Amino acid sequence: EQLFVGDQVLRIMASNEEQIALLRALGEQTELQVDFWRHPASPGHPSDLRVPFPSLQAVKTLLESNGISYSIMIQDLQKLLDEEKKAMAKSRRTER
């Protein structure tokens, strides 16, 4: 089972086409293993990027050095996944 401990989802707001292109290029860098949950569309539209824990520093540095603003949408993905799994198990145990 793939675990996502420490992975974050970043909400990124590109302000121009150049930054959009940069984000798209970021998505193509296979070694970073990032995953766009919401792809970069146009300036002013948010995009959401899941970043594996080992790539976090590199991605954040790249965003900051290019003046691309972002916030952390999901702090630790695995925590949410664990909650979801727990809710499913609980639901299955409940007699209906």
Partner 1 sequence: STSTFDFASYHTIDEIYDWMDTLVADHPGLVSKLQIGQSYENRSLYVLKLSTGGSNRSAIWLDTGIHSREWITQATGAWTANKIAEEYGQDPSVTAILDNMDIFLEIIANPDGFAYTHSSNRMWRKTRSINAGSHCIGVDPNRNWEAGFGGAGASRSPCSETYHGPYANSEPEVRAIVDFVTNHGNIKAFISIHSYSQLLLYPYGYTNTPVPDHEELHEIAERAVTALSSLYGTSYEYGSIYTTIYQASGTTVDWTYDQGIKYSFTFELRDTGRYGFLLPASQIIPTAQETWLALKVIMQYTLDHPY
Binding residues vs partner 1 (CB under 8 A): 1-2, 4, 9, 11, 27-28, 30, 35-42, 45-46, 48, 50, 73-74, 77, 80-81, 84, 87-88, 91-92, 94, 96
C-alpha to C-alpha distance for 56 and 9, rounded to whole angstroms: 10
Do 81 and 1 contact (CB within 8 A), yes or no? no
Task: In angstroms, give the least distance from the CB of 59 to partner 1.
Answer: 16
- Please identify, using beta-carbon distances, which residue of 43 and 66 lies nearer to partner 1: 43
Task: In angstroms, give the least distance from the CB of 39 to partner 1.
Answer: 6
Which strands form 8-13's sheet, in the order they lie side by side?
Answer: 35-38, 46-51, 8-13, 69-74
Task: In angstroms, give the least distance from the CB of 37 to partner 1.
Answer: 5
Entry field: residues in the chain: 96
